[in-house]
A and B are shown apart, each in its own frame.
Chain A
């Protein structure tokens, strides 16, 4: 029947999308495909509710009887029923935006279903789409997790940006580096709390070889962001050392958090505090070693000059 055929073609389309995908940067998806996939979704949808949608490669829509717009619909204009030709730019939603919306809606179902196609299907249902929408995505839930991580990183950046504005306006004190790092990592890890039961599953999926470029990218940009807001201006090898250290702190704290059962994860935050303190001490020790090294070199140079002058003067005599 038509639904099964459409679901099959969706799955194939999704698979092709998946294989053609390049390394994920800040945007997770290549926004190039036509809206055919989404259009087919509409037709297959059993629901009465519709998304406002327009496309250049417009398909003939069966005119579903239109009813009310779902209340929670965030986008503006009401659905237009003569789908073709209705190219109002406010209605236009790229496939990428649609995917983001589905994934965001799916997050609500993760605590129950895990990072799976079921959660995505449930999410699609709340948006008034067919459960076949889950076929757009990889079956192991990779995109859902990557979407979540990307969202959390964006939230963190916004948080840090706001904090920085407050400091610039003089409304808040500038935090010392160790406290800044602690607070930033804590804020970011707290975003995992609603999903903490299923997070170990997510971590293992992120470590799958085909996900590593994307997950590594997301991790490194987050760490870079944190250091950026912490005021790091290093232009030498410290750039790498600092980021490596903070990555280590973040990852180990995340691991501790996953098996922490203390109230409000206090053990985790205490662990974090200790690791950050260790890192600061390491930094100080490194500086001391460098100063000592420099002093030693100067001493040797002085000795060498003395000896060579002595040789010269003896040769002259």
Chain B
């Protein structure tokens, strides 16, 4: 049985995931899984460049938290029988390139990337929380708890990024806007494909 008290019968045909709004939950889990996967790759890229610098340990710590998030979504994906997005191999490369690229702009560049991405992700989690609350807070209690927790973690990463002079990065506002646009596109695609 999956972690937590999710009431469903595993390994039966999908109609027996009783009473949940399958299309909505499908999308939520698929896009969140893709997001955490991408975040993992971004931090991996940043570590590849800045691993041995002074911000290495901070990035490593944030990366470890993202790894936990991904693990959780892997479990949820199996439990709810959700298919992953086809674009995973693409996010694999794109995430790493974004992380490494922003890190090549220096420590502040990496932090700026972190701020941009984490802000996007927390906004995205917030809107998912709203959706689930509108649907049925009781039925989706466990999922809501998880998303709220992760949203708080991402906010924390965002604040850490700001503390480490993200705003002093070269072309901060341009960088931030571009990255957030990319995140919006990634979210849109991963929900559907």
Contact = CB atoms under 8 A, between A and B. Distances in A.
Interface of A: 26, 154, 157, 161, 164, 221, 224-225, 228-229, 233, 235-237, 239-240
Contact of B74 (A161, A235, A237): A235
Given A157-B12, A228-B81, 5 more contacts: A26-B14, A224-B14, A235-B33, A235-B73, A239-B83
Given A235-B77, A237-B89, A164 B83 contact: no
B161 interface: no
Chain A interface, DSSP helix/strand/loop, else mixed: helix
B86 interface: yes
B11 A161 contact: yes
Contacts of B12: 157, 161
B13 interface: yes
18 contacts: A26-B14, A154-B13, A161-B11, A164-B11, A221-B13, A221-B14, A224-B14, A224-B81, A228-B81, A233-B78, A235-B74, A235-B77, A235-B84, A236-B88, A237-B88, A237-B89, A239-B83, A240-B83
B15 interface: yes
Contacts of A221: 13-14
Interface of B: 11-15, 33, 73-74, 77-78, 81, 83-84, 86, 88-89
A229 B14 CA distance: 12
Contacts of B73: 235
A154 B88 CA distance: 31
A225 B81 CA distance: 10
Nearest to B9: A161
8 cross-chain pairs, A with B, having the tightest CB-CB distances, nearest first = A235-B74, A157-B13, A233-B78, A235-B77, A235-B84, A239-B84, A237-B88, A26-B15
Contacts of B86: 237, 240
B192 to A, nearest CB: 15
A161 B11 CA distance: 7
A161 B74 CA distance: 23
A75 to B, nearest CB: 23
Nearest to B78: A233
Contacts of A240: 83, 86
B82 to A, nearest CB: 9
A155 to B, nearest CB: 11
Contacts of B74: 235
B52 to A, nearest CB: 10
A273 B73 CA distance: 35
A157 B81 CA distance: 15
A157 B13 CA distance: 7
A221 B16 CA distance: 14
Nearest to B12: A161
A229 B88 contact: no
B10 to A, nearest CB: 9
Nearest to A153: B13
A263 to B, nearest CB: 34
A210 B42 CA distance: 44
A236 B89 CA distance: 8
A225 B11 CA distance: 8
A239 B83 CA distance: 7
Contacts of B89: 237
A298 to B, nearest CB: 13
Contacts of A224: 14, 81
